[in-house]
Chains A and B, each alone.
Chain A
Amino acid sequence: AQSVTQLGSHVSVSEGALVLLRCNYSSSVPPYLFWYVQYPNQGLQLLLKYTTGATLVKGINGFEAEFKKSETSFHLTKPSAHMSDAAEYFCAVSDQYGAGSYQLTFGKGTKLSVIP
């Protein structure tokens, strides 16, 4: 069974500052990892994903995340926060679920506030 832990339900950063959102996972198989972003009253949009290969993955809007197997982590970063980055961010891990089917397990989310 898989699980995801996002440290910090709420993170505040100043505009222009580094964004760091933490995610740790557990998985019984090599994980596929995802970060999603959700703006108020909207569905979730994929920011980036890691499947295999390069452990540093780049996503949309200047975000990137690094898969660290030894630390079972997949932290999301952005060098310089923008006001438009204010949203809720979800980390997710994909694992097998039933015969031939996979599901994503989500963390509880981290709400990012950007202070002007």
Chain B
Amino acid sequence: SQTIHQWPATLVQPVGSPLSLECTVEGTSNPNLYWYRQAAGRGLQLLFYSVGIGQISSEVPQNLSASRPQDRQFILSSKKLLLSDSGFYLCAWSGGRREKLFFGSGTQLSVL
């Protein structure tokens, strides 16, 4: 069966520090991968999605970037965190073709 792993679960970082959140999927190949951010009262905002290795699409201009170095690995990064980057970050995957998303357990990021 397929599983999705996301880490760390919580992270507290100072403003201006770098960020790296990692997500891996097991039990499937060539998944569509997504990074969402959930801010209080704002629902889920799609940040990046990827349909294949090295293929990244960005939804909103921001301080963040994403990379997909391997088929089942998706990384969210920042060179310098801002206070506004605080939030709950969720990685997700799907098999494509309008299928449901499977979510990781999320990372609560606090930028202080």
Contacts and interface: CB of A to CB of B under 8 A. Distances in A.
Contacts of B6: 43
Specify the main secondary structure of chain A where it touches its partner: strand
Interface stretch (B36-44, B60-68, B70-78, B79-87): B36-44
Interface in B1-50: 6, 9, 32, 34, 36, 41-44, 46, 49
Specify the main secondary structure of chain B where it touches its partner: strand
A57 to B, nearest CB: 12
B90 A108 contact: no
Interface string A82-116: 00000000100011111011111111110000000
Contacts of B32: 101-102
B30 to A, nearest CB: 12
Interface in A46-63: 46, 49, 51
A58 to B, nearest CB: 15
Contact of B49 (A34, A44, A90, A101): A101
Given A36-B103, A102-B98, 19 more contacts: A34-B100, A41-B108, A43-B6, A43-B104, A43-B106, A45-B103, A46-B100, A51-B98, A90-B43, A90-B44, A101-B32, A101-B49, A101-B51, A101-B96, A102-B96, A102-B97, A104-B101, A106-B44, A108-B42
